[in-house]
Amino acid sequence: MTTNDMPRWATGFVLPILNLLSALLVAALVIHLLGEDPLESMQILINSAIVNPEGLSYTLFYASTFVFTGLAVSVAMQAGLFNIGAEGQMYFGGLGLTLAMLAFDATLPWYLLIPAGIIGAALFGALWAFIPGYLQAKRGSHIVVTTIMFNFICASLMNFVIVKYLIPAGEQNTASRVFSAAAEMPRLNTWFPVLGDTPLNVSFLFAIVALVIYGVAVWRSSWGYKLRATGLNKHAAHYAGVKISAMIIATMAISGALAGLGSVNSILGSTHYLSLNFVGGAGFVGIAIALMGRQHPVGILLSAVLFGALIQGGFDLSLEKPNIPTETFIFIQGLIILFCGAMENLYAPALIKLLKKG
């Protein structure tokens, strides 16, 4: 028996859980070396991020963005493409959203303005991913190299655009002007007051819908079959009639659109203006979410919630435990990427032996 022959519950649930526990054990050791009790610290983190309703609201707010970046990486991985550029694609998507807001927020009602912003975010994100997709399909450029490069290009371009064109006259903050009230995403605490005064908004519901659409499109449609066939064996897919170049370009455009949609929660749901470096690493977190979630909708959602909890709980924990700096949780994210990505099959041989004995 090989890893590919293992049952789905083993590869999709048991191995990720074992990898996650391994990452948390190493993190617990680090917390112990910092002079704090790992169990007490974990209790504080869970209470802050999950048990407390307001903390849970913040966790789900962060998760709303991570779902989209996780989906962006996942849909590309289904086609055998490793999209490292979700960071830049989300950033550029934020520019498309902002341009729509600046152009129409004084004239359009909210029910037309918000969809215009969503479309702008998706289109600009798709455009920024289309170029690496085209270079891969038509010129043979490696998608990892080009998407990494485009992250840096986007960062420089956005810095120029924001500083040169978007900062209001007389302002010092490197950000666009604040959008009108019509551009604010409805918050869920309107219907659920127990959530408190938090930025959790309907983007979370959009994220759930996106997960459902992704699951149906990938596993219940002919296009999804062609997508997965391309990822498994491009030569076989080609002989089966799949246009590989078109599939690569289309998949990267969809991936970029999903990453661009991640900006909707961050901008329309929270800040209500475009700021420098607003992405804050969410695109790179999407890589970890796709790896840990095994590109499955349920896994992506749970992984996004986990990383949201690490951010929310980690912030409160660093306040209560000054010996644990906030950078510790970036380190924990790295551990999760290490164990769920590069070392994802660490426990596979032992699990295969157990399955054979059973």
- Spell out the SS3 assignment of 83-128: CCCHHHHHHHHHHHHHHHHHHHCCCCCHHHHHHHHHHHHHHHHHHH
What digits encode the pLDDT tens for the residues 149-206?
999 999 999 999 999 999 998 888 899 999 999 999 999 998 988 888 899 999 999 9
Q: What is the share, in percent, of the chain residues with pLDDT greater than 70? A: 97
Determine the pLDDT at residue 1.
Answer: 55
What digits encode the pLDDT tens for the residues 112-160?
999 999 999 999 999 999 999 999 999 989 999 999 999 999 999 999 9
Nearest Cα neighbor of 336 from 17, 20, 7 is: 20
Task: Please give the average per-residue pLDDT across 25-37, as a whole number.
Answer: 88
Nearest Cα neighbor of 265 from 97, 56, 89, 106 is: 97
pTM: 0.92
Report the 3 state secondary structure along the chain. CCHHHCCHHHHHHHHHHHHHHHHHHHHHHHHHHCCCCHHHHHHHHHHHHHHCHHHHHHHHHHHHHHHHHHHHHHHHHHCCCCCCCHHHHHHHHHHHHHHHHHHHCCCCCHHHHHHHHHHHHHHHHHHHHHHHHHHHHHHCCCHHHHHHHHHHHHHHHHHHHHHHHHCCCCCCCCECCCCCHHHCCCEHHHCCHHHCCCCCECHHHHHHHHHHHHHHHHHCCHHHHHHHHHHHCHHHHHHCCCCHHHHHHHHHHHHHHHHHHHHHHHHHHHHCCCECCCCCCHHHHHHHHHHHCCCCHHHHHHHHHHHHHHHHHHHHHHHHCCCCCCHHHHHHHHHHHHHHHHCCCCCHHHHHHHHHHC
CA distance 311 to 336: 14
Query: Is the CB of residue 268 less than 8 Å from the CB of residue 279?
Result: no
Q: With 90 as the cut, is the pLDDT of residue 243 above it?
A: yes
CA angle 249, 278, 317 (to 5 degrees): 120
CB-facing half-sphere around the CA of 193: CA atoms within 13 A: 0
Nearest Cα neighbor of 302 from 284, 281, 317, 288 is: 288
CA distance 204 to 280: 19
CA distance 198 to 178: 19
Q: With 90 as the cut, is the pLDDT of residue 227 above it?
A: yes
Structure tokens at 319: 């306040």
What digits encode the pLDDT tens for the residues 51-102?
999 999 999 999 999 999 999 999 999 999 999 999 999 999 999 999 999 9
